[in-house]
Amino acid sequence: MTWQVLHDKVKHHLEYIYADVPLEHSLESLTMSLMETMGIKPDEDVSLPQSHSNYWDEDDIIMITYGDSVIDGDERPLVTLNRFLNRYSKNTINNVHILPFFPYSSDDGFSVIDYSSVNEALGSWDDIEAIAKDYGLMTDLVINHCSARSVWFDNFIKGEGPGSDFFFTGDPADDLSIVTRPRVSPLLRETETKDGTKHVWCTFSHDQVDFDFRNPKVLLTFIDIIRLYIDKGAKIFRLDAVAFLWKIVGTNCINLPQTHEVIRLIRTLIEHVDPSIIIITETNIPNRENLTYFGNANEAHAIYNFSLPPLLVNTLVTGNCKYLKSWMMSMPPAQNGTAYFNFIASHDGIGLRPAEGLLDDEEISELVHTMQNFGGKISWRASDHGQQKPYEINITLFDALQGTTKGPDKWQIDRFICAHAIMLGMEGIPGIYIHSLLGTSNDYEKVANTGQNRSINRRRWDFKELEALLDSPYSQHHKVLTRLSQLIRIRKAQPAFHPNATQFTLQLNESIFGYWRQSLDRKQSIFCISNVSDEEQTILLSDINLIGTDNWIDLVTRQQIALSDAFLQLKPYQVLWISNQDFE
C-alpha cells in the first residue's frame, strides 16, 4: 500500500467521524497531523497488513494483573512482578496485561492523571520495557475519560492551555433519561470555571471526566499517546470503556457509529506502523452489541467475551449448562483476523449486563443471591427507566465457585479448575487473572479500607508470604497454580486449541458441557467434555462419535480411551480433553 492510499483511507475515516462537526482546520490538515504524529512520513515505506491474518495461536495466554499485585518490601513492584513472572509463569504465560500503571486519582488506575508517565509507586518506563522484552505487553488506553485532578482538567477550569477544550459538557435542562449508565451517580458534574458554571459529563464517576472527541485535538492527543506506548513495547492495546466514547444528546450515547469509526481509524494507523499489534475493545455490554465491535474484520482484532463469566459461573453453581450451551451455539465463529478474548475473572467483577437476554431475571436473581451467600458484593446501575439493577458481582472467582446454589461443599478446587478448563479449550485467546492463577480468596480487609466493592478481588500479595504458600503442597494456592499450569501447558501444545480453530457444540445432557475443536489443518480433533455438576455423570461413547480408526487419549489424565467401552464415567467437575493426537 502506498503512502497516498493510506492517506486517503485515513481521510475517509475522518470524513465520516466529523461529518456533522464544524472544524477549525481542514480534514486534509488533520489527516497529515495524524499520520505525522503516528510517525508515518511520505518518504518512508508503509507497512502493509495482511487481510484476515491471525497474529496469535494456541501458544498465546494473557495474564491480567496490577503492577503491584505482588510486592516485596521497598523493591519497585514492577520489578517484583517481573521476578514473579519469571519464577512461576515462564513456561505458561507469554503475554501480560498490566492494568493502568500511570499516575491516577481513583478507580485503581482508571482515573488517569498523566498518560505519559509511569506511577512512581510502581516503577519506571525502564521496568515496563524490561517486562516487554520477555512478554507481550498489553496496555490500557483509557480513552473515554481522565482524572479530574489532571493538568488537562485544571486547564479546563482555568480556560487556557492544553486540555482547556478537551471535555464534554451537557445542560441539566436536556433530556438525558435514555443515556446508558454503568453507575448510579449523577451524570453531570457541576464545575465552576473561568467562563462560569459548566456541567461536565461523567459516565463513571465525578473524578472521571469524559473527553469530547468532537474536538480533533483530543483524537490527536490519543494518537500521540498510542505512539508513545508502541515505542515503550506495547503489543496489545485494550481500549477501555470505548463504547461510551462519542456522545450525542438525545441518544443513549453508547455504541454510536462515530465510536466504531474512531476504532477503525485507530486500527488503520496502528496496523500500518506494526501489523502485529492488536486492539482489544473492552465493551461491557449485551452480547449482540458487543459482537459489532469486530466490524468486518476492520475494527477490533479481539473483543472481550463478557457473557462467558456470568454464564459459566451460573452453570457451575446450578449444575446445569443449558444457558451456556445455547449461548455457545449462537456465537458466530470469529473470522480469520479476529478472535474472542475469553476470560472468566478480572480486576472488575462478574458483569451482569452481558447476561441480559441470556439469563432470565429469575436466574440472575438466584445467581446474585448465591454469590452474596459466598461473601460477594453487588454493584448497581441505573436502568433506562431510572430503576436500580445489579450491574456486577464483586467476588473472587475462587470463592464464587466454593459451592452451588445449595451452599459451600468439598468440590471448590475441582469446580474452579473445571471452569478454567472450559475456558482454556474454547475458541479464542484466554486471559487469566493473576488472582485466579493464585487461588486468591475474597479480601474483605481491603474492601473495608477502600470502601470499594471491587477491592474484594484486588489483593496485594507480599511476595515472601506468597512464595511460602505456593511452595507448600497443602495450600490452596499451590494446588491451584499447579493444576492450572498443567492445563495451560497441555493447551499450548495442541493445534486444535488455536483461537480460530473450528468449534462445534455437543448435544449432551444438561449436566455435561461439551464441544469439539478441530485444528486448522484438520488433522487434530479434541472433544472437550466437562461434568458441571456435583454428581457423577455417564456419557455414551456413541454420543461423541469417536472415529474408530484413530487412537484416542485424554490429554488431561494421559489415559487411552478404549473404543470397546460403551460409556465414560465422569467424577464431579471432571474434565476430559479427548484427542486423536497428543503433541505435549
Strand partners, 340: 303
Domain-located, residue 74 = yes
- From 464, 497, 530, give the residue that closes a domain: 497
Q: Which residues contact 330 (CB under 8 A, 6 or more apart)?
A: none
Question: How many Å apart are CA 505 and CA 330, to the nearest integer?
Answer: 10
Same domain, 309 and 375: yes
Element at 420 (helix H, strand E) = helix 412-425
Domain-located, residue 154 = no
What's the predicted TM-score (pTM) here? 0.96
CB 379 within 8 A of CB 454: yes
Domain-located, residue 175 = no
Same domain, 463 and 572: no
Q: Which of 72, 127, 240, 534 is catalytic?
A: 240
Same domain, 362 and 290: yes
Same domain, 371 and 511: no
What is the three-class DSSP state of 233?
Answer: coil
Looking up residue 513, the CATH number of its domain turns out to be: 2.60.40.1180
Containing domain of residue 231, as a range? 62-148+211-497
Same domain, 436 and 507: no
Domain-located, residue 177 = no
Domain-located, residue 516 = yes
Domain-located, residue 238 = yes
Q: Which residue has the cell 461473601?
A: 375
- From 436, 462, 497, give the residue that closes a domain: 497
Residues annotated within a binding site: 107, 145, 238-240, 347-348, 454
Q: Which residues contact 30 (CB under 8 A, 6 or more apart)?
A: 14, 23, 216, 220
Same domain, 479 and 529: no
Domain-located, residue 290 = yes
As given in the structure block, the three cell numbers for residue 85 are 513472572
Q: What string of pLDDT tens digits covers the 584 residues of the chain?
A: 588 889 999 999 999 999 999 988 899 999 999 999 999 988 777 777 888 899 999 999 999 999 999 999 999 999 999 999 999 998 999 999 999 999 999 999 999 999 999 999 999 999 999 999 999 999 999 999 999 999 999 999 999 999 999 999 999 999 999 999 888 889 999 999 999 999 999 999 999 999 999 999 999 999 999 999 999 999 999 999 999 999 999 999 999 999 999 999 999 999 999 999 999 999 988 888 999 999 999 999 999 999 999 999 999 999 999 999 999 999 999 999 999 999 999 999 899 988 988 999 899 999 999 999 999 999 887 666 667 788 899 999 999 999 999 999 999 999 999 999 999 999 999 999 999 999 999 999 999 999 999 999 999 999 999 999 999 999 999 999 999 999 999 999 999 999 999 999 999 999 999 999 999 999 999 999 999 999 999 998 888 888 777 789 999 999 999 888 878 999 999 999 999 988 87
What's the number of domains the chain is made of? Answer: 2
Strand partners, 461: 70
Same domain, 221 and 270: yes
- From 497, 532, 551, give the residue that closes a domain: 497
Q: Is 207 a catalytic residue?
A: no
Q: What does DSSP say about strands 70-71 and 461-462: parallel, antiparallel, or unpaired?
A: parallel
Longest dimension (CA), the chain: 83
Looking up residue 127, the CATH number of its domain turns out to be: 3.20.20.80
Same domain, 467 and 507: no
Domain-located, residue 55 = no
Residues annotated within a binding site for substrate: 107, 145, 238-240, 347-348, 454
pLDDT confidence of residue 71: 98
Same domain, 514 and 483: no
CB atoms within 10 A of CB 212: 17
Question: How many Å apart are CA 96 and CA 85, to the nearest integer?
Answer: 9
Same domain, 408 and 335: yes
Amino acid letter for position 91: N
CB 10 within 8 A of CB 31: yes
Same domain, 486 and 515: no
Same domain, 523 and 441: no
